[in-house]
Amino acid sequence: DAKTTQPPSMDCAEGRAANLPCNHSTISGNEYVYWYRQIHSQGPQYIIHGLKNNETNEMASLIITEDRKSSTLILPHATLRDTAVYYCIVRVGSNTGKLIFGQGTTLQVKP
Amino acid sequence: KAGVTQTPRYLIKTRGQQVTLSCSPISGHRSVSWYQQTPGQGLQFLFEYFSETQRNKGNFPGRFSGRQFSNSRSEMNVSTLELGDSALYLCASSRGLGETQYFGPGTRLLVL
C-alpha cells in the first residue's frame, strides 16, 4: 500500500503558484520523498525528490516539514501544460527503485 | 541523451496469446523496472532488474515474467493473455538500484 495521502484534485489559476500537499506520517528516517507527474497517457515524469532538506530545481520546489511527516510540492508559476496527475511517493528501501504509487492529485490549471 | 524507449507503443492481442514488450534504458543506466497501469488498480510495480538479475517482484501471477540482457535492455513477457491484462505497461530505468527512475512512454496493450 502507498505510504502517502494526497487530495484527489486541486485547481490552480495560470501564472499562480500551485502548492500540492502530501502526508507521509509513517515515513522512516532513510526514506526519500519523490514527486512524479503524469500527463494523460504518457509515462510519469520525474520532478524532484528529497530526504530532509528543502530542494529546488528548474521545475519545482519541495518543502519537507521538520518532522518529515508531510511535504509540499510547489510549482512557482503554473501553466496550462502543468495540468497532470501528481504523485507523491515514499521510496521504500535504499537498495531498490521500487515505487509504490497512490492515486495522486489531479491538478487542473485554469486560464 | 536519449530517454527510455519502449517498443512497440501499441499492441492488440487476443485472449490466450502471449506478448513480449521491449525496453531500452537510458545510456549508462543499469537498472530497469516495469510497471502496469490500469484505470482500476492504478500504477503497480511488476519487477526490477539489475545486472541481469531480478531484484524485486511485485504481486503478479507467474504469467508475467521478464529478463534483462547484458546491455541492460529488458523484455517482459505475458503468457496466456487475459482481458484484464489490457493496460499501459511502463518501463523505468535508473543508474543503479535505489536511484531516481526515469520512465519511458509505455506500451499500450489491448487484449480482445
Question: Is-contact A7 A69, C-beta < 8 A?
Answer: no
* pLDDT over threshold 80, residue A46: yes
- The mean pLDDT value of chain B amounts to 96
Per-residue pLDDT at A1: 65
Cβ–Cβ of B100/A46 closer than 8 Å? yes
What is the C-alpha end-to-end distance of chain B, expressed in Å? 37
Q: Is A97 helix (H, G, I), strand (E, B) or coil?
A: coil
Q: How far, in whole angstroms, is CA B89 from its chain's centroid?
A: 6
The residues with which A11 forms a beta bridge, in sequence order, are: A108
Report the gap between the CA of B86 and the closest CA in chain A (Å). Answer: 14
**Could you tell me which residues come within 8 angstroms of residue B81 by beta carbon, excluding any fewer than 6 positions away?**
B13, B14, B15, B16, B17, B18, B19, B111
Mean pLDDT of B32-40: 95
Residues 16-75 of B with CB under 8 A from A: 31, 33, 35, 42-45, 48, 55-56, 58
Mean pLDDT of A44-71: 95
Closest listed residue to residue B24, CA positions, set B52, B47, B2 = B2
Mean pLDDT of B48-55: 94
CA distance readout (Å), B87 to A4, B35, B40, B75, B81: 24, 10, 10, 16, 12
Q: Is A80 helix (H, G, I), strand (E, B) or coil?
A: helix
Q: Which site among A33, A57, A95, A98 would you substitute to test the B interface, given the most B Cβ atoms closer than 10 Å to its Cβ?
A: A98
**Could you tell me which residues come within 8 angstroms of residue B71 by beta carbon, excluding any fewer than 6 positions away?**
none
Mean pLDDT of A8-35: 94
Pick from B33, B88, B108: CB nearest A97: B33
In what order do the strands lie in the sheet containing A84-91? Answer: A9-13, A105-110, A84-91, A32-38, A45-50
* pLDDT over threshold 80, residue A43: yes
* pLDDT over threshold 80, residue A93: no
Question: Is-contact B33 B48, C-beta < 8 A?
Answer: yes
Per-residue pLDDT at A2: 66
**Could you tell me which residues come within 8 angstroms of residue B40 by beta carbon, excluding any fewer than 6 positions away?**
none
Closest listed residue to residue B49, CA positions, set B30, B36, B35 = B30
Q: pLDDT tens across B13-31, in order? A: 999 999 999 999 999 999 9
Collect all residues of chain A within an 8 Å Cβ-Cβ radius of residue B35: 99, 101
Q: pLDDT tens across B63-111, in order? A: 999 999 999 999 999 999 999 999 999 999 999 988 999 999 999 999 9
- Percent of residues, chain A, with pLDDT higher than 70: 97
C-alpha radius of gyration, chain B, whole number: 13
Q: Which residue of A has its CA nearest to B88?
A: A41
Of A40 and B72, more confident: B72
Question: Is-contact B87 B42, C-beta < 8 A?
Answer: no
Question: Is-contact A6 A22, C-beta < 8 A?
Answer: yes
- The mean pLDDT value of chain A amounts to 93
- Percent of residues, chain B, with pLDDT higher than 90: 95
Mean pLDDT of A41-47: 94
